[in-house]
Amino acid sequence: MKNKITLANANIDPLFELIKSLSKSEKRQFNLYVGRLDGNVSAKFFSLFKLLDKQKSYNEKQILDSGIVSKQQLSNLKAHLYKQILVSLRLNPAHKNLRIQIREQLDFATVLYQKGLYKQSLKLLDKAKNMALDNEEKNIAYEIVELEKVIETQYITRSLNNRADELSVQAKELSRHNVIASKLSNLSLQLYSHLLQNGYVKNNDELEFIRDYFNSKLPEYDYQTLGFREKLWLYKAHLWYSFLTQDFLQSYKYASKWLDLFRNNPKLIGLHPVFYLKGKNYLLEASFFVKKRNTFASELHLLEQEVNENIIPRNTNTEILIFQYLYSHKLHSHFLNGNFSEGEYLVDIILEKIEQYGPRLDSHHIVLLYYKIACLYFGMGENKKCISFLQLIINSKGIGSAEDLQCFSRVLNLIAHYECGLDYDLERQFVQTYKFLLKMQNLQEVQKEFITSIRDLSDVYPHEIKNEFRKIHKRLKKYENHPYEKRAFLYLDILSWLESKIENKPIAEIIKNKIPNQP
């Protein structure tokens, strides 16, 4: 199996990347767009487009050798081609979403204003403003009101006083909503950034810091006056706060509120498909963490149905998100229910999709899928296949953002080697894992305890091994619901593995037997 992990968009020429992202219909549209005027078909930028379209990877030497352009002119020609492709995409009906339509009306109204056709301009602006307000596009609505105010000072009517008051009130109200939305979106982004850089809170000091930060940055608001957009950012901020503090019931609560916004405003799914998909992903993730099996199963089924019925708009961006979320949670479904072998069919599909999407998939999500495939094989008892996927992660470079997964991949790798009876390699694997963990900051107690225990197993006599497993299980069990240590069990169900060794049962059977006792 070859290593398919690549750094996302690393050293890829932006123009080449844009051309490779075009669908067949978008390329056909560009050909028609270029041919609208005589002479363009033979233009240098179109020749460059055709050459880049044929290349498998960006090759500047081949471009210069073709004679299309000199080295001195290449940068300008690429910039011109890039712009022409974007203009073509903007004209493509497939990209004519509501936000672009509103912006287009604003552009038309600006042209009419500059020609002194004030009445016509105001009529278009009023139409565009109503579209914006109906669809919670308050930033554009504010721009429109500001232009209306400018035009009204040029187009004097008897109703100017009433009109001035009306526009002033509207501008003030929109500005207030936009300020709240901006503060909430800033808080959401900052919390997300903190999670990526520092991970979950690991002790009381970190919890206190995050709590104080969240409360100090959360703006004052009247919930009853908040619109869709402000509530969306509010729920996002609370969601990231709950993930940081490992309060997954709260994560479930705010992910549910997030999705309810769209369920109460279904037309906005088409306008904000990425936000909808992300909300669905977080609800499924939180349901998985708190073992809400019924909710998880129904939401996953609904997501697949919405995808198949094209309720969620399909474009390059949403296609990738749908793949990541749908197949990640399909794997989770088998983890929840302990029917690992029934999920093996997903492996080939996932690998084909990774190959298909290539560099458009970032390395972190590829690593995450490989780890979950490894867990699937581990649950099946296919430990050598599990090891092969873990090695793809362990041997890959430049994925420091996935340090947690690197850590747990090494721990699972040790267990899989132990299960395979690969004793000759176990000591070397232990040394490598221990060295890696020593480099990690804030190593969890669960990780320390387990690594030490695995190392000590090599000195235990065969007839004492089961009793040793019981001791390890007892030492780790106390961390299962620990506020800062429980995260380790989300990545790797060590306790179920130990119970499988103690009871001489497959791990899948142990997990299935736990299901009736969980909500």
pLDDT in tens, 485-503: 877 777 678 888 888 888 8
Contact 177, 133 (CB under 8 A): no
Quick one: tokens of 396?
């890959």
C-beta atoms surrounding 177 within 10 Å: 20
Q: How confident is the model at residue 3, as a pLDDT? A: 47
Q: How confident is the model at residue 7, as a pLDDT? A: 41
Cα–Cα separations (whole angstroms), residue 479 to 204, 223, 449, 476: 16, 38, 11, 6
Quick one: tokens of 116?
């002194």
The pairs formed by 264-273 with CB atoms below 8 angstroms and a separation of 24 or more are 265/136, 265/228, 267/135, 268/135, 268/136, 268/228, 269/311, 269/312, 270/97, 270/98, 270/313, 271/97, 271/98, 271/99, 271/135, 273/312, 273/313, 273/315, 273/318
C-beta atoms surrounding 418 within 10 Å: 19
pTM of the model: 0.82
Q: How confident is the model at residue 79, as a pLDDT? A: 92
Burial class (CB in 10 A: 0-12, 13-18, 19+), 180: buried
Q: How confident is the model at residue 231, as a pLDDT? A: 96
Q: How far apart are the C-alpha atoms of 426 and 228, rounded to whole Å?
A: 55
C-beta atoms surrounding 441 within 10 Å: 8
Angle ∠(220,221,227) on CA atoms, nearest 5: 150
**What are the residue ranges in the chain where pLDDT is below 70?**
1-11, 37-42, 93-96, 155-161, 397-403, 422-427, 440-443, 454-463, 491, 516-519
Contact 468, 457 (CB under 8 A): yes
Burial class (CB in 10 A: 0-12, 13-18, 19+), 500: buried
Contact 424, 468 (CB under 8 A): no
**Which helix (H) or strand (E) segment is 300 a member of?**
helix 293-308
DSSP secondary structure letter of residue 462: G
Q: How confident is the model at residue 401, as a pLDDT? A: 47
Contact 395, 351 (CB under 8 A): no
The pairs formed by 70-78 with CB atoms below 8 angstroms and a separation of 24 or more are 77/44, 77/45, 77/48, 78/15, 78/48
Q: How far apart are the C-alpha atoms of 283 and 236, rounded to whole Å?
A: 12
Quick one: tokens of 104?
């287009």
Show Cβ contacts of residue 384 under 8 Å, excluding neighbours closer than 6 positions: 416, 420
Q: For residue 144, how far is the Cα from the chain centroid?
A: 32
